[in-house]
Amino acid sequence: MRLGSVVLFVAFCSFTAHYIYEPIPEEIEERWKLMLTNSFFRGLSHLADFSELLGLKDYMGVMYFITLLEKVVPLSDEHVSVTEEKFDGVEVVLYQPKQEGHELRRAVIYLHGGGWCLGSSRMSPYDLLARNIVTQLDAVVLSVEYRLAPPHHFPVPYEDVYRVVKHFLQKGVLTQYSVDPGRIAVSGDSAGGNLAAAVTQQLQKEHGQQLKAQALIYPVMQALDLNTPSYQQNQDMPILPRTLMVRFWSEYFTSDKALFRAMMANTHNNYESSNLLKFVNWSAFLPETFHRKYNYSAPTVVKGDGGKDDVGMDGSSRSFADPRASPLLVPDTALHSLPKAYILTCEYDVLRDDGIMYVTRLRAAGVEVTHEHYDKGFHGAMMFTVWPTDFLIARRMTDNYIKWLKKNL
Ligand SMILES: *[C@@H]1O[C@H](CO)[C@@H](O)[C@H](O)[C@H]1NC(C)=O
Ligand SMILES: *[C@@H]1O[C@H](CO)[C@@H](O)[C@H](O)[C@H]1NC(C)=O
């Protein structure tokens, strides 16, 4: 009996240790903290799979718990006045400096991450970042609560953001908040970086309207090639394994699992998207050092006429080749008059090469780009600022990002 419980106990401990322990590269700082953090994410992901399997709640519905866990009610403090508003029907959280200024202010429109399916501008790390920008730049921050997939597939999240940006840029609105029309930036992390890049392009295309800057933090830039060297190298890395990123991508467009399976196999390209593969050719756009041990092979293109029965997917599945979802898919002529850019990438991130390819393409088109690559960085690192999942690297990233905004906005 006693032996039995000992055996059970040992089995339980080794299972737990095995669950938590994951081969994380030596050079990543605070490795054990990251392993523990990640075991929580993995555990929740398994629970979400299980729940979906049993037909209880869909996968993203369970994963949304992450968002709820960190949600706060944004309140005004000593230095920052916080209000919740609706801009053209879309919820925003508006942060303004309390101190009266006699000059017009800078503004940052911020878009949170979470794979278009999770996250909120009301999560404590985003709330904290917004206050940080307000106090350090004496700026106005507009944090957009765009609607999320899967209840709201593409283009809803994108369009919500675009509507807010256009509403904010109206002369009367800028005057109301004492914002200098010549000093406005759009910024975001991960899926938020994707939305930021996409609206910046769209504004330029439709209005020739120049934002002063765009600041993209480990952005998602393209859905055509999900086997770039960084996708391969980091497929099991903490926080954002390849499976989860592919899941986010497919759920952005459709709840039809056929797209998820095709994207997992990188065989989702069709006749229509194949002409755009040249824009995501990593053999051409990644500096040699980032090729690592991988050899280029173009994604398989599944034959089809681009008709509605193509690869057995519905029409919305094919939106992955829309540049409003994959901002890398535009020709150089659509890039050259974009505002200057800040792009942050992390070594241990499936999205590393997305960001680096955009750096190369923007520079080739003549755009001024500051590229900060973190050798020890992992996806999502900059938002790990709140105890108990606070990481030193998050502080360094935040400092450098704000420093860039101070100087360039
Ligand atoms: C990708 O770029 C390489 C040169 O860097 C070229 O040889 C290859 O044909 C290109 N492939 C595609 C699909 O554009
Ligand atoms: C890449 O190509 C080189 C030269 O053709 C070959 O030696 C190497 O094994 C290839 N690497 C992989 C990972 O396939």
Query: For residue 96, how many other CB atoms are within 10 A of its CB?
Result: 22
Pairing between β-strand 340-348 and β-strand 213-217 as defined by DSSP bridges: parallel
Which pLDDT band holds residue 309 (cuts at 50, 70, 90)? very low
Residues 44-94 pLDDT 10s = 999 999 999 999 999 999 999 999 999 999 999 999 999 999 999 999 999
Residue 307 above 70 pLDDT? no
Pairing between β-strand 213-217 and β-strand 369-378 as defined by DSSP bridges: unpaired
Residue whose C-alpha is closest to residue 278's, from 194, 195, 357: 357
Catalytic residue among 112, 153, 268, 379: 379
Q: What is the pLDDT of residue 12?
A: 67
Strand order through the sheet with 105-111: 80-87, 90-97, 140-145, 105-111, 179-189, 213-217, 340-348, 369-378
Region 191-208 average pLDDT: 97
Please state, in angstroms and as integers, the Cα–Cα distance from residue 107 to each residue in 56, 104, 213, following that order: 43, 10, 10
Q: How many residues does the chain have?
A: 409
CA triplet 228, 370, 177: central angle to 5 degrees? 115
Q: What is the pLDDT of residue 255?
A: 92
| 224, 329 Cβ separation under 8 angstroms | yes
Q: What is the pLDDT of residue 302?
A: 85
Cα 86 to Cα 226: distance, rounded to the nearest angstrom: 36
Residue nearest ligand 2's atom 2 by CA: 295
Q: What is the pLDDT of residue 100?
A: 83
| 126, 112 Cβ separation under 8 angstroms | yes
Question: Under 8 Å CB-to-CB from 380, ≥6 apart: which residues?
Answer: 113, 189, 190, 218, 239, 240
HSE value, Cβ hemisphere, 13 Å, CA-based, for 326:
24
Residue 308 CB less than 6 A away from ligand 2: no
Cα 275 to Cα 255: distance, rounded to the nearest angstrom: 26
Residue 127 above 90 pLDDT? yes
Residues 96-124 pLDDT 10s = 999 887 899 999 999 999 999 999 999 99
Residues 357-405 pLDDT 10s = 999 999 999 999 999 999 999 999 999 999 999 999 999 999 999 999 9
Region 189-198 average pLDDT: 98
Residue 283 CB less than 6 A away from ligand 1: yes
Residue 407 CB less than 6 A away from ligand 2: no
Q: What is the pLDDT of residue 94?
A: 98
Residue 229 CB less than 6 A away from ligand 2: no
Residue whose C-alpha is closest to residue 399's, from 337, 407, 292, 140: 407
What DSSP string describes 65-81?
Answer: HHHHHTB------SSEE
Region 267-277 average pLDDT: 93
Phi, psi at 301, each rounded to 5°: -105, 120
| 352, 193 Cβ separation under 8 angstroms | no
Q: What is the pLDDT of residue 3?
A: 65
Q: Is the peptide bond before 74 cis (omega within 30 degrees of 0)?
A: no
| 314, 208 Cβ separation under 8 angstroms | no
Residues forming beta bridges with residue 343, ordered by sequence position? 216, 371
Residue whose C-alpha is closest to residue 143's, from 113, 108, 97, 104: 108
Residue whose C-alpha is closest to residue 185's, from 405, 364, 400: 405
Known catalytic residue at 349: yes
Q: What is the pLDDT of residue 303?
A: 76
Dihedral sign computed on CA atoms, order 99, 131, 324, 145: negative
Residues 315-373 pLDDT 10s = 777 899 999 999 999 999 999 999 999 999 999 999 999 999 999 999 999 999 999 99
Ligand 2 mean position to 292 CA, how many Å?
11
Ligand 2 mean position to 219 CA, how many Å?
29
Residue nearest ligand 2's atom 13 by CA: 294
- E-strand stretches of 300-390: 340-348, 369-378, 385-386, 389-390
Residue 1 above 80 pLDDT? no
Q: What is the pLDDT of residue 97?
A: 97
If one compares 169 and 102, the residue with the highest pLDDT of the two is 169
What DSSP string describes 81-94?
Answer: EEEEEEETTEEEEE
Residue 277 CB less than 6 A away from ligand 1: yes
Residue whose C-alpha is closest to residue 269's, from 298, 243, 246, 245: 298
Q: What is the pLDDT of residue 378?
A: 97
- E-strand stretches of 76-209: 80-87, 90-97, 105-111, 140-145, 179-189
Q: Is residue 267 helix, strand or coil?
A: coil
Residue 311 above 60 pLDDT? no
Residues 4-50 pLDDT 10s = 676 666 666 666 766 666 778 989 999 999 999 999 999 999 999 99
